Structure 1
Amino acid sequence: MTVADAGHGPAPQPQPQPQPQPQRQDKRRSELTHFLKACRARVTPEDVGLPPGLRRRTPGLRREEVAQLAGVGVTWYTWLEQGRPINASEQVLSAVAGSLRLDPTERDHLFRLAGVRAVRPASPAHPHLDASTQVILDALAPLPAAVCNSRYDVLLHNSSYESLFGANPPAAPHGVFNSLWCTVTAPPCCNPFLNRDEELPRMVGVLRVAYGRHVGEPVWEGYIRELTLASAEFRELWARQEVAPARSARKVFRHPEVGELRFTAAYLTIPAAPEHYMVVYTPEGPQDRERTERMATLPARPVKCCHT
């Protein structure tokens, strides 16, 4: 079906899809519904050259306006947003993405949730990492460096990375040191991550993209559930349905002995371990480098709240 076909004549009939994993399919369709509604709500008629019209009960575009802009039938778009098992071509989904002004990351997320592109099989949470990986991390010191997965589990790290978060930081409920868990659960008075208000929405957006590849998987669903229960801030960010690309980022930490540390975090892929990456923190300026080198000579402090 082409975009032109979708906009004229009777609405296309829904075509049932094979459902080898019904529960996961249902969860994916529910996620698609919430994502499309959130995207539609943030686009105003003025954004896309439409008249504002009469008073609206909800913000953003109406379903019929998205359908009009995409050149598809209103019934077809409604079924898409409701998560019904219909056929959706790449061409038509691209038109919907354009109507909703989605960026490339959001567009890929939409395609994944709609099942148009093949979803990669789940990768193991803790793949076999060659012993040389730890050697590389240690050789990068005093630069903080670690190997993480797409859930922010920290699988390997060097001593400088440990110094930033403290010795024996609290593990997430699934028993693993997790940098996102530490970020959202550590109290503000003792949270080592200073620019978290700037970076946390991006981190959650990157997590949302990764989650799109694993909707319905018990490990992922349990992880998201625990985060939403543990942190109202995470719960609010997660509800926004925002997605973000993985990219270099600015990280600002505070260390109790050397002071503020500003880094650029670079993310390097690991071909042997899909959905895993090495993150390396590079000091921004001479003072940051000097403080990083001094931090590397100090033992990692134990993690505890100053109010306990």
Structure 2
Amino acid sequence: MLPGKKTNLEPAQQQPGFTLLEGDIRDYETCVKAAEGCEFVFHQAALGSVPRSIIDPMTTTDVNIGGFVKVLHAAKEAGVKRVVYAASSSTYGDHPDLPKVEHKIGNALSPYAITKYVDELFAKNFSDIYGIETIGLRYFNVFGRRQDPNGAYAAVIPKFVSSLINGEQIVINGDGSYSRDFTYIDNVIQANLLAAAKPSAALKQDLARYYEGIGESYTAGKAISEVFNVAFGERTTLLELAQILKDNLSAFDPAISQAEFKHGGNRNGDIPHSLASINKAGTVLGYRPEFSVRDGLKLACNWYWDSRQ
């Protein structure tokens, strides 16, 4: 079920103190071993894909909720100070407002979206009851080097890139007008490090300042539990995305400039448009995304071309 590859970890394995523990977050003993001796836990594991969750909601729920609770409980038992976890922009569901702000969500449109929102509820509950700090980062369409283009549920960018490199026609869901806030992986890494590093006292102070700015009061519970959008703050349509990728890859192979697109049906559970407000993350965490969508797409295309087989 994993979209990544073990070989991606080879550079990290050369670092002193690195330990690779292989397991399943649904196995509590594995979670216990992973949390031992840790002050911070970065929880990035999930069974992704909206379409997959519609086909198999039971497994998605088992992994994304059951596994998440096991991670939280193991972290609490190990005395972990803070868990920074991957939340999702799918939580916004059918809420019509753009840009998306953290305190306004709509009805979930897929089992996957439900699981990610339930994770946020569990995180706050663990903070309130057990005093463990939790910070959820609502990712918006993350992309970048090493993202696997293969498989039925591959993300749109590596899938488009793979099709272009292999001379295959790009299939765009719908008329191509749907838009997303595509977010380069290095921006996501920055947000994770900031979410872990910010001292609790400063975090509370800046949260109070943020909520005062939007006209709401902030009352800290037993421990901090917050969510933040992690994005670039810019919309790109699927047609624009396909054209940017084609332009980038044409620098390596001019024949790619002649690639054509075809349109398929819209996917169940997809929202038409997604755009994040990153004001909260900027105000509270100091998040400043360094890579624009175009910059990130160029870097990703360079990596895919160099890594083609």
TM-score, normalised with respect to structure 1: 0.26
